Amino acid sequence: IHEVLEASAVSRASSSKLPKQGSTPSEVIQVVKKRPGLTATQIVEAVKESGHKVPEGSIRTSIFRMRDRKFIIARHGKWYPA
């Protein structure tokens, strides 16, 4: 039973660590930190302008996954660092 508890503790710890540098989630976090208060559409534009070539859907998915992991928060339709 100790192995199961240790495994769950490891998975919880790994979910709170930062995404890999250069990944779409990492780019989303960087944009939100650099320019807080953007809408999701503006974040998509900013990520694409930074030279990160991925589909809009991937960026939007990353925005909401980073919200779920509590790296960013939405207030009144705008996104801010958590």
Q: What is the pLDDT of residue 12?
A: 45
Beta carbons of 25 and 65 less than 8 angstroms apart:
yes
Contact criterion met (CB below 8 Å) for 50 and 24: no
Instruction: Report pLDDT for 18.
Output: 85
In the chain (82 residues long), the average pLDDT of successive 10-residue segments reads 51 66 95 97 96 95 96 97 94
Averaged pLDDT of the chain: 87
Pick from 50, 63, 56, 2: nearest CA to 22: 50
- Looking at residue 33, its pLDDT comes to 97
Q: What is the pLDDT of residue 76?
A: 96
Distances from the Cα of 72 to the Cαs of 5, 23, 50, 66, 78, in angstroms? 28, 16, 19, 6, 10
Q: What does residue 78 show for φ and ψ, rounded to 5 degrees?
A: -120, 155
